[in-house]
Amino acid sequence: MMRYVRHLALGAACLALLGCGSTESGTPVGVGAKTTPATSDETTAGDSTAGKPTATKKASGGFKPSDKDKDPTNRIDGVTEQKYVAGQHVRTPQRVAYDHTPPLGGAHDAVWAACNGVVYAKAVRTEHLVHSLEHGAVWITYDPDKVRGAAVRTLAAKVDGEPYTVMSPYPGQPKPVSVQSWGKQLQVDGVDDARIDQFVQATRANPYLTPEPGASCDSTTFDQDDPPPFDPSPPGPDAVPPTGR
């Protein structure tokens, strides 16, 4: 049985991907249960992996970033791009009025969510996970009303034990599956879409796209066993815009 939460050391994560060195900083702009696997056997519509072994963690070849190909997402159909200023921080319980669902960047909580191969069974407060994106993490989300059982396990196999990779449900998102990195997003209809692995390979800890390359995905101030819950209500008139202004 797959462990749905694994806390990796920063040193191992950096050795696996790109090395360490960045420190956390930011500009304040506002005031401010253990995860378990899904048990349902229901799957998302169109999922060809139902009843089959979970997909390999390895992405299709040719999408690893390099000096000559700094942004391989340019070769992936359907990727949305948005520019954001990094380092714009709020404090709990301040909300941010994000301009995408799920968000792919912008102002965020000063505390980042643990994101070294962590699979959250319940939806987590968005502002924490956006900070994880700033550190180079890829965040895989799914609509829990459309993706269940074997389909959730297929997605979790792409995350469990993988540095700079995190997953959580995101109720009400436009597509069954969405994948986010800082300033990039891919939304698809099924967990077996090959572009998911391509996007992860192209963006995870990509030093050419990440505002804070080498920043930690471990978090001593974030309780990954009992994370702050997702708030489905509208942000409200006092919410900070994603620009942090």
Tokens at residue 135, please? Answer: 């550190």
Tokens at residue 159, please? Answer: 């995350």
Taking the C-alpha atoms of residue 55 and residue 208, their distance in angstroms, rounded to an integer, is: 28
210 lies in a domain? no
User: Would you state the pLDDT for residue 166?
Assistant: 98
146 lies in a domain? yes
Across residues 188-195, what is the average pLDDT?
Answer: 98
Write out 14-59 in H/E/C secondary structure: HHHCCCCCCCCCCEECCCCCCCCCCCCCCCCCCCCCCCCCCCCCCC
User: Would you state the pLDDT for residue 26?
Assistant: 62
Q: What is the pTM of this model?
A: 0.81
Q: How many CB atoms lie within 10 A of CB 213?
A: 19
Taking the C-alpha atoms of residue 46 and residue 43, their distance in angstroms, rounded to an integer, is: 8
Domain extent, residue 166, equals 10-19+29-38+60-203
237 lies in a domain? no
24 lies in a domain? no
Across residues 2-25, what is the average pLDDT?
Answer: 45
Q: What is the pLDDT of residues 130-163, one digit of tens each?
A: 999 999 999 999 999 999 999 999 999 999 999 9
Taking the C-alpha atoms of residue 13 and residue 142, their distance in angstroms, rounded to an integer, is: 25
Number of domains in the chain: 1
User: Would you state the pLDDT for residue 109?
Assistant: 98
> Is the pLDDT score of 16 beyond 80?
no
User: Would you state the pLDDT for residue 123?
Assistant: 98
225 lies in a domain? no
> Is the pLDDT score of 95 beyond 90?
yes
> Is the pLDDT score of 46 beyond 80?
no
User: Would you state the pLDDT for residue 47?
Assistant: 56
45 lies in a domain? no
174 lies in a domain? yes
Task: Write the DSSP symbol of residue 168.
Answer: E
Q: What is the pLDDT of residues 53-87, one digit of tens each?
A: 334 444 556 999 999 999 999 999 999 999 999 99
Report percent pLDDT > 70 for the chain: 75
209 lies in a domain? no
